[in-house]
Amino acid sequence: MTRSERKPLVDADGEVREITKDDLKFARRGRPPMKEGERKERTTILLDPDVLSSLKADGRGWQTRANALLREALGLDAVHK
């Protein structure tokens, strides 16, 4: 079965049909892939312990906050496009 041969998961009334094993062949985990040039790059950086603990103090998403702080400090746009 190809993606185009699959029955829609949701009907006209908004009802979701039963998921089959064939449907799972097309399932994806995580976010959709980003276009080249929009992807973030993995790097390793050493930070002072107090800097790291301060970033982590607000919980999940500390890497995103660190990125935003660096963008602000470097005078870059608030949102990367």
Q: What is the pLDDT of residues 29-65, one digit of tens each?
A: 887 788 888 888 899 999 999 999 999 999 999 999 9
Q: 79 falls in which pLDDT band (50, 70, 90)?
A: low
Percentage with pLDDT > 90 across the chain: 44
For residues 68 and 53, what is the distance between their CA atoms, to the nearest angstrom? 17
The tokens for 50 are 């107090």
Alpha helices, DSSP H, located in the chain:
21-24, 49-56, 62-73
Query: 19: Cβ–Cβ under 8 A, 6 or more apart, which residues?
Result: 9
What pLDDT is stored for residue 23 in this prediction? 84
Query: Which residues, including other chains, have CB under 8 Å from residue 8's CB and lie 6 or more apart?
Result: 17
Confidence of residue 68 (pLDDT cuts 50, 70, 90): very high
pTM: 0.55
45: its two tokens: 């950086």
